[in-house]
Amino acid sequence: MLFTSACSTIVPNSGGPVASPRPASSPIAEQAARPTPATPGTPLPTAPAPADATNAAGAGVIAGPDGVPRGLTAQNAARALVAFRLSCPAVMRRTDASGLTQSGDWDVACVAARDWADGDAIRFFAEQFRTVQIGDGRGQATGYFEPEIAGSRTRTARFSTPVYGVPNDLIEVDLGQFSASLAGKRIRGRMENGRLIPYFDRAAIDGGALNGRGLEIAWAEDAIEFFFLQIQGSGRLRLPDGSVMRIGYASQNGHDFVGVGRLLLGRGELPAGGVSMQSIIAHMRRQSDGGMALMHENPSWVFFRELTGAGPLGSLGVQVVGRASVAADPAYIPLGAPVWLALDRAEPNGLWIAQDTGGAIRGANRVDTFWGAGGEARAIAGGMNARGAVLLLLPRISVERLLAAHHGGG
């Protein structure tokens, strides 16, 4: 996700918002972590996925090795078990769009997880799950983290970038209610003259489309930092008195996410292999408009709510766990499922739990790894882009049913 994105302080004047090329206070040093190379796994041989596949079942599923993947460590398994246990209440209620599991499939593993000792987590995953490969098994992992930026609950000359709550005129429509062929698809917009039209995009919102409506829940100091916080979907605002306000995703304006990193790469403004959150921020700060024009090429805008309990929260509504949670496309990876990564970069390799989704995370074997908060998490996530082999761990009852359907001609 960070490969495809990037921000500056907005100071209002009579002509609308203007971006300052530098924040009001010194930003965190921008340097992506140096990757540790690793030998990627080899996907299992299989036929090409059908071009019209829309979920994991349609892309093709083959059984992988029985037992846990080789290389799973006790520490990694323990973190994954903690994340899996947190997911269980939501997973047991959720309808799986991937076509891989059915209602009740997760119950046995979730009941077992409640009292299973974290120190014996390798045996838990070995007994409760079996590996499968979706499609060709070739995957990609990027990274995200929980950023902390300077902010305030009130607007001042220093804090002038609005953090908006959800507008009351933002309408979300479940298209599946109108046609079975559109099941799972949603659009967002607003009403104008009796017609549903697209909601305000980023440029319109920066231009004042939401001014005067009392939607601000806080104000950020640096618009570049806030732009990246929107991409992450949650974060922390360090307030002037030293306290922290946590904010989390509440909704989005309905416009597709456009990765500005990909735009800069395509234009030759950043070198191949040199695109990271850190390099994009440095590029934006060099622009005379502080990167405002580039930011507006990503029309997506995220609305927030204040978090007062555990956080940050993923799409399952449960707390995501640093170095254990990934965002995935639920059409291909059931939320709650363990995911094994064997990639060409060592840092993300191991077992993760799918607990979140992301606007740029689409398709089979595509994940966004969550690294927690702090400088190290920022450095690793900001430059994360690894490729290799991906396996899912599914409840044994699910795999048995999939194998039976395959041998029966399904």
Q: What is the pLDDT along the chain (410 residues), one digit of tens a residue?
A: 343 333 222 223 323 343 444 444 434 445 777 889 999 999 999 988 898 999 999 999 999 998 899 999 999 999 999 999 999 999 999 999 999 999 999 999 999 999 999 999 999 999 999 999 999 999 999 999 899 999 999 999 999 999 999 999 999 999 989 998 888 789 999 999 999 999 999 999 999 999 999 999 999 999 999 999 999 888 999 999 999 999 999 999 999 999 999 999 999 999 988 888 999 999 999 999 999 999 999 999 999 999 987 778 888 989 999 999 999 999 999 999 999 999 999 999 999 999 999 878 999 999 999 999 888 998 898 889 999 999 999 999 999 999 888 765 44
CA 293 to chain centre: 24
Domain CATH code at residue 361: 2.40.40.10
In a domain, 45, yes or no: no
Domain match, 373 and 290 both: no
Domain match, 122 and 175 both: no
How many domains in the chain?
A: 2
Domain match, 249 and 392 both: no
- Please give the structure tokens belonging to residue 124: 């838990």
Helix axes 74-91, 121-128, angle to 10 degrees: 50
Domain match, 99 and 188 both: no
Domain match, 250 and 339 both: no
pLDDT at 310: 73
In a domain, 201, yes or no: yes
Domain match, 237 and 386 both: no
pLDDT at 72: 97
- Of the candidates 334, 302, 354, 351, the one whose C-alpha atom is nearest the C-alpha of residue 398 is 334
Q: What is the C-alpha separation between 143 and 384, in angstroms, rounded? A: 5
In a domain, 37, yes or no: no
Answer with the one of 307, 341, 362 that is the final residue of a domain.
307
Domain match, 271 and 352 both: no
Domain match, 87 and 155 both: no
* Distance separating the N- and C-terminal Cα atoms of the chain: 35
Q: What is the C-alpha separation between 320 and 198, in angstroms, rounded? A: 31
pLDDT at 309: 79
In a domain, 292, yes or no: yes
pLDDT at 21: 40
Domain match, 347 and 379 both: yes
Q: What is the largest CA-CA distance in the chain?
A: 70
Name the pTM for this structure.
0.76
In a domain, 29, yes or no: no
In a domain, 373, yes or no: yes
Domain CATH code at residue 160: 2.40.240.50
In a domain, 394, yes or no: yes
Domain match, 209 and 290 both: yes
pLDDT at 407: 63
CA dihedral (45, 46, 47, 51) positive or negative: negative
Domain match, 171 and 272 both: yes
Which residue range forms the structural domain that includes residue 320? 56-143+313-407
The DSSP line for 172-186 is EEEGGGT-GGGTT-E
Phi, then psi, of 237 in degrees rounded to 5? -105, 120
Contact 336, 353 (CB under 8 A): yes
Answer with the one of 307, 331, 357 that is the final residue of a domain.
307
In a domain, 46, yes or no: no
Distant-in-sequence, close-in-space partners of 268: CB < 8 Å, separation ≥ 6: none
Domain match, 299 and 318 both: no
Answer with the one of 307, 331, 349 that is the final residue of a domain.
307
